[in-house]
Amino acid sequence: MKTKILLIYTGGTIGMVRDSETKSLVPLNFKELTKQVPELNFFDYEIESFEFEEPIDSSNVNPDFWIDLVNIIEEKYEQYDGFVILHGTDTMAHTASALSFMIQNLHKPIILTGSQLPIGTIRTDGKENLITAIEIAATQKDDLHEVAVCFSNKLYRGNRITKHNAEYFNAFSSDNYPPLAEIGINIRLKKNYILPKSNKETIFYKKLNNNIAILKVFPGMHPSYIKSILNIENIQAVVLETYGAGNAPTEDYFIKEIDKAIKKGINIINVTQCQAGSVHQGQYETSLSLKNMGVISAKDMTLEATITKLMHLLGNDLDSTKIKQSFSESISGEISKK
């Protein structure tokens, strides 16, 4: 029986071609995908496609989109050996992270890919990304059981990446976790870095709560800036982007507002502004007060993973104690074991 891969087109640069008359970029009719990528005909797999009725620019991605995507995968889950999702690069890290929390105990690969140049242009990086993602999903289906991102000859854990480059083909970095595969002449999966296959049934979560905000710390913050964010109506959690290893100002106005928010029941999550490294609350005096107040450390999670994990936990009605416990534990490999 041939390996079956479902290609899900959500939108993004990769799915664009140049209109012969207007010369502008328009969405590709995915029924004609093999015309743009004839190499797909040489695969000895069954490749079927599913496209959203209205392709979405990844800048418009939101929780409802993630729920739709999970519904599609759940509906098709038993019919296919692996899934490849074509997605815009701007929020690919957010979607990959969200899927890693919303679909747990995976038994088959879900790989996101895209491109910096449209698949209908001569120098596109989309063809190679697409072909490689499909090949990995098909040939590594027995060993890869997690949400991953295939881009520019790298396979990354989906909840570990951040888009760091808007110009070059190597758009993503994974500073706190090594790539899951080396992609050259051969594809070498690094099995010691991949999540072990679960013997539990795959679970699909479809509740997300986006009553959260981001408070980015910077020199010269005005007290009204802090107050306005911490007093947003119906806010349940705030991601606090701090310096270095989790450090923040120790000025009275700042500490008092954070403490007041926590006492009101708002969850405060401390994530570093640095792409590499981890939050270590209490390592310096400038983070000790945050730790003592009950600010939750995101450790070495990315901002994208922190946001989507928080939406997932709040969506499942966990209280502050359970949220704090869950943030110290890795759900889908988003935190390093230290």
pLDDT in tens, 270-324: 999 999 999 998 787 767 889 899 999 999 999 999 999 999 999 998 888 889 8
pLDDT at residue number 112 = 98
pLDDT in tens, 289-302: 898 999 999 999 99
**Spatial contact of 176 and 300, defined as CB atoms under 8 Å apart:** yes
Mean pLDDT of the chain: 92
Instruction: Report whether pLDDT(31) > 90.
Output: no
Is 10 part of the annotated catalytic residue set?
A: no
Over residues 63-101, the pLDDT tens digits come to: 999 999 999 999 999 999 999 999 999 999 999 999 999
What pTM did the predictor assign? 0.94
Give the fold, CATH level 3, of 4-204. Answer: Rossmann fold (3.40.50)
Q: Where are the beta strands (DSSP E) in 89-197?
A: 103-104, 110-113, 147-151, 154-157, 162-163, 172-173, 181-183, 187-189
The whole-number pLDDT of residue 338 equals 64
The mean pLDDT of 53-61, rounded to a whole number, is: 86
- CA–CA gap between residue 205 and residue 67 (Å, rounded): 8
Write the CA distances from 166 to 60, 121, 128, 296, 314, integer angstroms: 17, 17, 18, 31, 32
Give pLDDT, residue 41.
Answer: 85
Per residue in 168-227, pLDDT (tens digit) is 888 899 999 999 998 999 999 999 999 999 999 999 999 999 999 999 999 999 999 999
Give the pLDDT confidence score for residue 30 in this predicted structure. 66
Give me the residue spans of the domains in the chain. Answer: 4-204, 212-327
Q: Let me know if the fold of 4-204 is the same as that of 212-327.
A: yes
Q: By three-state DSSP, how is residue 104 classified? A: strand
**pLDDT tens-digit profile of 129-169?**
999 999 999 999 999 999 999 999 999 999 999 999 988 88
**Per-residue model confidence (pLDDT) at position 40:** 85
User: Which CATH number describes the domain made up of 212-327?
Assistant: 3.40.50.40
Strand bridging mode 296-297 / 267-272: parallel
Please identify which of the residues 13, 113, 306, 308 carries the catalytic annotation: 13
